[in-house]
A and B are shown apart, each in its own frame.
Chain A
Amino acid sequence: MSDESTYYVPEQSKYPIAAATGFGLMAYGAASWVIDSSNPYILILGTLVMTVVMCMWWNTVITENMQGLANAQLKHSYVLGMLWFIFSEVMFFAAFFGALFYLRVIVNSWLGGDAAIGIFDDTPTDAAVANNELLWPGYQAQWPVMETPDQAANGDAAIFKGPDQAMSFPGWSNILSWLPLWNTAVLLTSSFTVHIAHTGLKNNNRKQFVTWLGITVALGLIFLVLQAEEYIEAYQHMGLTLDSGIYGTTFFMLTGFHGAHVTLGTIMLMVAFFRSLKGHFTNDDQFGFESAAWYWHFVDVVWVGLFLFVYVLD
């Protein structure tokens, strides 16, 4: 609720309309680009406008804060804004996780012809059996889907082909060469290191804060490098691509969006790191860092879900 100091309401701002223009250009440009890949120019222009505006906008917000314009109430608005933004991100991933569960559990058994009537009766329904026999004869429900229904029914004439190899748990003997495990270790560690940095800031221990924040950024970058390596391996050695059936689809979309969010989180932490070198943030004024840290914990939690449902559980 309001306190007595005045809430800072800027009179006018040129940033929003510039951002909206950049955003509109990005949308129009992205659509033009997917239709005609030789025309990425509008998209690039929009992205540039957007990047410049965002840098300027946040710069202004930081400057305002350092001038003391942001009272406690305004800072709380920023906190609420960030938390609800993270919630919206959670829901974005929920859509993809929901799709994954539905595809793995329900769709797969329908295509394979063993979808049952209900929880207490596992006799396949006639419809499911017919679905399999008439449309996708020979398809066996399986996860990861190595042979797509298209391949089962049409053999080499199939358009949708499964991967040669999946990224799933390779067995205990090969576990040390399994990149996802290392990625998990790196990302989970980074959640601890960012927490150590946070504790350092709260206790006015600047050295601890800056050092561990730097380590977190480094871990974020290592994660991204490892994921790039994983993708290269998938594309070059495992025949696992974005278009290799539903396994490739869900694998790359889920890990890809997660990777995009890690990239964003790393950039946020990096900005916080450079600001911390300039002496920004105190134990009672640290929204910029704290929001990046919350975001980082969020991408970490998403990764745990990914690790379980995309990589480990068959």
Chain B
Amino acid sequence: MAHGPATLADGWKAYISRWVFTTNHKDIGTLYLWFSFAMFILGGAFAMIIRAELFQPGMQLIKPEFFNQMTTMHGLVMVFGVIMPAFVGLANWMIPLMIGAPDMALPRMNNLSFWILPFAFAILTSTLFMEGGGPNFGWTFYAPLSTTYAPESVNFFIFAIHIMGASSIMGSINIIATVMNMRAPGMTYMKMPLFVWTWVITAFLLVAVMPVLAGAVTMMLMDINFGTSFFNAAGGGDPVLFQHVFWFFGHPEVYIIILPAFGVVSQIIPTFSRKPLFGYSSMVYATAAIAFLSFIVWAHHMFTVGMPIAGELYFMYATMLIAVPTGVKVFNWITTMYKGSLTFETPMLFSIAFVILFTFGGFTGLMLSIAAADMQYHDTYFVVAHFHYVMVAGAVFSGTAAIYYWLPKWCGKMYNETMGQVQFWVAFIGFNIAFMPQHFLGLAGMPRRYADYGLQFADWNMVSSVGAFIYGGAQIMLLFNVIMTIRKGKPVVEDKVWEGAEGLEWTVATPAPYHTFEKPPLYK
């Protein structure tokens, strides 16, 4: 297409076929990002239903059965439909630009990876309308809740997970092949931007553990429909086996979610500190170390399941080890800012909030890793608070930072800084009002995933619900801000949108042309 990508001016048909048949990494990145935001609204709506019901004790709005479906679907949609696709979208957009490649290594497979997702989530969401309701066993779908006692729709859930997994594996293989094979001359591994590094390690994790998730749901499928006894002690199996297989996937999965976020923050903080990243190579090694450790700590999610004491101790100490490379990262981000010439544009605000709140979430993680103490914390709101600090203030904040940071490069328009900063503060305050009290609720003993609670938990639940709605409102502001930027934003002409930015992505024109680096640049 010599005349460039089809726009609406070329007619609907051409415009739609551009997006459906595209092999362009920028188009596919855009599709991923918009899909992710659509799912964010859906998963957010589920969260709002949960918080509205929990605003007061007693059952007001929905039935407990539906509440269970909401907690399950909220988790599944947010993890598999929002955070993962958002970072894959960023990877699609930025990795070829950052390493000087003309496109992703396998462009058609790239399109397939994306277009599987709408089908997968259509299937998953349709379960809510099926007889017996949707999945109601929590996003971790422990057997036998998800096998013996599951609604029939669990079969649709299983196959939706299967094709999502296939999509993730193909996407990851593509990223690995791109990074290993498509770097511009001179772009050696140890010169790659940290976002590329964190993503290639994430892709490795994905290729390693998505098949294990496929194994877990396959075992469920067989137990439910074909009389096998993987998770049934009567036949010689064990429900705890499910937890082992699931968490062997699940723990690396949480690093799959957070490592690209580390990468984003490691790009943004140097830009607005006007200093190179402190300790680049230690950042790379720390990322690799975290990825390695993620494979050998899974059972810290299972301290209360009745493991032998030797197992408890091993998983406790191994888990605590992760604090070391993570500490290296936090230290490096702070040291990058130290004596820097700091400015606080919206991406930087989100990144600093990321460092603070992620560290906070990391510390509660350290508390949870203490096996003895976990007997009290396990399955309480303390855990809910912990993982929302790392997933929302971690992954979602850094994703938001990334959007503000690269949006001018993508569409050639600058977002409204005031609006961005207002959105940041609303999100930051709303988030903390929503999730800080959940620590107190958890420590006081409120269990997670319950539709109702005792009166002693009423006050903090009310506060938390108010915060959740404020935080939800902040996302509408984000959407508004992005749309306004695309439609009416002030045009940006500089290739290097941010004064302190470094890297190949800032050497191409703004907005980034449809095809970039058709001849590889020489990177020094």
- A231 on the interface (CB 8 Å rule)? no
On whether A27 and B159 interact (CB within 8 A), knowing A16-B115, A249-B228, the answer reads yes
Which range holds the interface residue count of chain B?
35 or more
Q: What separation, in Å, do the CA atoms of A89 and B229 have in the docked complex?
A: 23
Q: Verify if B185 is at the interface (C-beta below 8 Å from A).
A: yes
Residues of A within 8 A of B122 (CB): 24
1/0 per residue B286-297: CB within 8 Å of A? 000000000000
Chain B residues with CB under 8 Å of A135's CB are: 233
Q: A7-B182, A77-B177 are in contact. Are A87 and B111 (CB under 8 A)?
A: no
Interchain CB contact under 8 A, A2 and B233: no
CB of B248 within 8 Å of the partner chain: yes
Contact across chains for A23 and B230 when beta carbons are under 8 A apart = no
Q: How far is the CB of B294 from chain A (nearest CB, A)?
A: 14
A2, A91, A95, A248: the one contacting B520 at CB < 8 Å is A2
Question: When the two chains form their complex, are residues B111 and A17 in contact, meaning their CB atoms are under 8 A apart?
Answer: yes
Interface residue? A192 (CB, 8 A): no
Q: How far is the CA of A91 from the CA of B252 in the complex (A)?
A: 13
Residues in B neighbouring A73, C-beta threshold 8 A: 181-182
For A77-89 the 0/1 string (1 means CB < 8 A from B) is 1101100110111
CA–CA, A98 and B105, complex, Å: 33
The interface on chain A, measured as residues whose beta carbon lies within 8 A of the other chain's beta carbons, has a size of 76
Complex partner residue of B222 from A13, A15, A160, A249, CB under 8 angstroms: A249
Partner of B238 from the list A1, A30, A95, A107 (CB cut-off 8 Å) is A107
Which residues from 202 to 223 on chain B have a C-beta closer than 8 Å to any C-beta of chain A? Answer: 207-212, 214-216, 218-219, 221-222
Query: In the docked arrangement, what's the CA distance between A20 and B109, Å?
Result: 10
Are A11 and B23 interface neighbours, CB within 8 A? yes
A15: which of B105, B108, B176, B224 is its contact (CB, 8 Å)? B108
Would you call B235 an interface residue if the criterion is a C-beta within 8 Å of the partner chain's C-beta atoms?
A: yes
B180 & A88 in contact (Cβ 8 Å cutoff): no
Indicate if the CB atoms of B119 and A23 lie closer than 8 Å: yes
In the complex, the answer to whether A24 meets B234 with C-beta atoms within 8 Å is no
Across-interface contacts of A158 in B (CB, < 8 A): 234
B288, chain A: closest CB distance, angstroms: 17
Is there an interface contact between A16 and B155, defined as CB atoms closer than 8 Å? Answer: no
User: B residues within 8 A CB of A15?
Assistant: 108, 112
**Which of B160-168, B368-376, B381-389 has 4 or more CB atoms under 8 Å from chain A?**
B160-168
Please tell me which one of the listed residues B22, B184, B238 contacts residue A12 in the complex, with CB atoms under 8 A apart: B22
Indicate if B123 sits at the interface (CB-CB under 8 A): yes
CB neighbours of B310 from chain A (8 A): 117-119
Residues of A within 8 A of B244 (CB): 98, 102
A6 within 8 A of B: yes
Within 8 A of A (CB), among B91-114: 100-103, 105-109, 111-112
Determine the residue in chain B with the shortest Cβ distance to A43. B159
Q: Are B173 and A85 in contact (CB under 8 A)?
A: yes
- Chain B residue numbers with a CB within 8 Å of A92 are 211-212, 214-215
- Are the CB atoms of B216 and A111 closer together than 8 Å? no
Judge whether A270 is part of the interface by a CB distance below 8 angstroms. no
Q: How far is the CA of A156 from the CA of B112 in the complex (A)?
A: 52
Residues of chain A having any CB pair with chain B under 8 Å: 1-2, 6-7, 9-17, 19-21, 23-24, 26-28, 30-31, 34-35, 57, 73-74, 76-78, 80-81, 84-85, 87-89, 91-92, 94-96, 98-99, 102-103, 107-108, 110-111, 115, 117-119, 125, 127, 135-136, 145, 148-150, 158-160, 162, 242-243, 245-249, 252-253
